Amino acid sequence: MEKVYIFDTTLRDGEQAPGFSMTSEEKLQMALQLARLGVDVLEAGFAAASKGDYEAVKLIAQEVKGPVICSLARALEKDIDLAAEALAPAERKRIHTFIATSEIHMRYKLRMSPQDVLERAKRAVSYARRYTDDVEFSCEDATRSQREFLYRVIEEAIKAGATVINIPDTVGYSVPEEFAQLIEDIRNNVPNIDKVIISVHCHDDLGLAVANSLMAVKHGARQVECTINGIGERAGNAALEEVVMALKVRKDFFGDLYTSINTKEIYKTSRLLCRITGSFVQPNKAIVGDNAFSHESGIHQHGVLSNPLTYEIMNPEDVGFPSSRIILGKHSGRHALKKKLQQMGIEVSEAELERIFEKFKELADKKKEIYDEDLEALVYEEVMKLPDDQPVSVLHYQVQTGDKLLPTATVVIRYMGQERTATATGNGPVDAVIKAIQKALDLDTKLLDFSIKALTPNTDAQAEARLVIELDGVRSSGRGVDVDIIKASVVGFVDAVNRALLRKSYILSKDRIREEGTV
């Protein structure tokens, strides 16, 4: 048996995707679940990118036990110093330093000669070793780098003390056979490569990130850098859930390779990320999409009922995929609620349970049947919502609509401590109320995406509204849940606005770093 290490970069590379930025507390919630999932290395952020990233890395280093906690750092002493400071509380820590090695990056981005890049890489790894014995070095844009130069940089990084060498397909340029050959060539041409772990970090610009990662593993890589739901820069990264389940399901092809991932936590982890970021997973997404284990064709249904293996290559239970079951109602007590939450893998404090129970009772009075999805939405609304003292809150709204009435909404909001009132018309009640809020705010808010769906069956189902906005060039997403579609939309829009205002300075402070590249 030989282990493949899972390096999760959801909180660093994944978080760099537009609309996916998280606060420190949100990152901590995600990190705790990633630890339960069983990732080997958790890249908590890019400590030098901003004060917010530094604080997030430090908080995770203090609170999260189990995985190695990692921070990215450019091949600069100031970056490495900040990474080391933020990682100081961690039981186990790794500094991940990088520099570009492709001709196009060296010439146009770094404006450095190959020799200067080589020297910078050596110094960075050696300097990082002052803080920890676990140092990873990445050759940014490795797949477009000149081979002999790439071999030299890797060799010098190993001599300087690197314990992990990462080969990123930074722009998602490679195809599987080509990437596999690159790993083979590195193994055959770099002295002492057997003394380090070869890692791969693939982007999905051609939709090949998972395929490239798996072929690299087949040819000797023993660490895969990936993200939950495949989120990340541009088209995203290799999806953790797909890499892990491919290795598990296709043992006939991959042999004795295994990971330490608790696959039953996969679905919960995916859903948590969606709740935090307000993002969607497309229904046909492998492993965690709503349709991943659904069968509509009569032939398929017949086969699955006879034997699930006819059309399912894995059991839904293996990835923690739930079945919606009615289990609680208005007569249920705190003990039953707590027990059910534990069965769902959700741990809450007594104070949080009390708040959740109150909201649960309110919901039970509105709905005859309470489903797992209802409880999940309720928990994340109460436990993971933004603090109460947000810049924007809706004090009152009223909507008039009908088949012969022009939908008209009036809102009273509080913005930065001041009450504001506005009235607007729209194509429908939701459109009218959102336009009224935009008018009252008088901010440059653009609604980029809006969707709404029922969480459970029946006409009394809770509606989940998800919205993506842009405020002064900063993207953010928000979410609202209620049995009233209009209220869910109002809550989701205000949530998106507050998150945009909260993250605006946080995101802008990272632009300086982003321009200089990441793996």
pLDDT of 362-373, one tens digit each? 888 887 778 777
pLDDT of residue 304: 44
Residue range 383-396, pLDDT digits in tens: 666 566 788 999 99
Q: Alpha-carbon distance 222 to 142, whole Å? A: 17
* H or E, element range at 342: helix 334-343
Instruction: State both tokens at 120.
Output: 């910078």
Q: Alpha-carbon distance 263 to 161, whole Å? A: 33
What's the gap between Cα 438 and its chain centre?
29
pLDDT above 70 as % of the chain = 91
Residue 13, marked binder: yes
pLDDT of residue 178: 98
Q: Is the pLDDT of residue 16 over 80?
A: yes
Query: Residue 337: which pLDDT band, with cuts at 50, 70 and 90?
Result: confident
Query: Residue 296: which pLDDT band, with cuts at 50, 70 and 90?
Result: very low
The DSSP string of 347-401 is ---HHHHHHHHHHHHHHHHH-S-B-HHHHHHHHHHHHSSPPS--SEEEEEEEEEE
Domains present along the chain, CATH in parentheses: 2-280 (3.20.20.70), 392-507 (3.30.160.270)
- Inter-residue contact 201 to 209 (CB < 8 Å): no
Q: Alpha-carbon distance 9 to 272, whole Å? A: 15
Which residues fall within 8 angstroms of residue 427, CB to CB, at 6 or more apart?
Answer: 407
pLDDT of residue 288: 92
Q: Is the pLDDT of residue 262 over 70?
A: yes
What is the average pLDDT across 290-305? 58
Does 404 or 424 have the greater pLDDT score?
A: 424
| Helix, strand and coil percent figures for the chain, each rounded to 5 | 45, 20, 30
Three-state secondary structure readout of 1-22: CEECEEEECCCCCHHHCCCCCC
pLDDT of residue 301: 47
Q: Alpha-carbon distance 11 to 22, whole Å? A: 8
Residue range 54-64, pLDDT digits in tens: 999 999 999 99
* Residue carrying the six token digits 């300086």: 512
Phi, psi of 295 (to 5 degrees): -140, 120
Say whether pTM exceeds 0.85: no
The one-letter amino acid code at 280 reads: F
Residue 335, marked binder: no
Q: Alpha-carbon distance 373 to 268, whole Å? A: 11
CA dihedral (350, 466, 456, 312) positive or negative: negative
What's the gap between Cα 202 and its chain centre?
16
* Residue carrying the six token digits 């901010």: 443
- Inter-residue contact 186 to 155 (CB < 8 Å): no
Question: How many residues are recorded in the chain?
Answer: 519
Q: Is the pLDDT of residue 300 over 70?
A: no
What is the average pLDDT across 456-474? 82
pLDDT of residue 329: 79
Q: Alpha-carbon distance 329 to 154, whole Å? A: 61
Q: Is the pLDDT of residue 130 over 70?
A: yes
Most distant pair of Cα atoms in the chain: their distance: 79
Q: Alpha-carbon distance 381 to 22, whole Å? A: 16
Instruction: State both tokens at 77.
Output: 């002493």
Q: Is the pLDDT of residue 112 over 80?
A: yes
- Inter-residue contact 46 to 52 (CB < 8 Å): no
Q: Is the pLDDT of residue 327 over 70?
A: no
Q: Alpha-carbon distance 227 to 119, whole Å? A: 31
Choice among 32-41, 133-142, 211-220, 265-274 with the minimum mean pLDDT: 265-274
pLDDT above 90 as % of the chain = 62
Q: Is the pLDDT of residue 37 over 70?
A: yes
Q: Alpha-carbon distance 503 to 317, whole Å? A: 37
Residue 237, marked binder: yes
Does 54 or 23 have the greater pLDDT score?
A: 54
* Residue carrying the six token digits 């993207």: 475
Q: Is the pLDDT of residue 326 over 60?
A: no
Does 508 or 288 have the greater pLDDT score?
A: 288
Q: Is the pLDDT of residue 447 over 50?
A: yes
What 8-state DSSP symbol labels residue 344?
Answer: T
Q: Alpha-carbon distance 46 to 233, whole Å? A: 14
The three-class DSSP label of residue 120 is helix
Three-state secondary structure readout of 242-275: HHHHHHHHCHHHHCCEECCCCHHHHHHHHHHHHH
Q: Alpha-carbon distance 276 to 369, whole Å? A: 26
The DSSP string of 415-452 is ETTEEEEEEEE-SSHHHHHHHHHHHHHTS-EEEEEEEE
Does 280 or 248 have the greater pLDDT score?
A: 248
Residue 219, marked binder: no
pLDDT of residue 12: 96
- Burial (CB count <10 Å: 0-12, 13-18, 19+), residue 291: exposed
Choice among 97-106, 424-433, 496-505 with the minimum mean pLDDT: 496-505
Distances (CA, A) of 413 to 391, 420, 474: 10, 5, 22
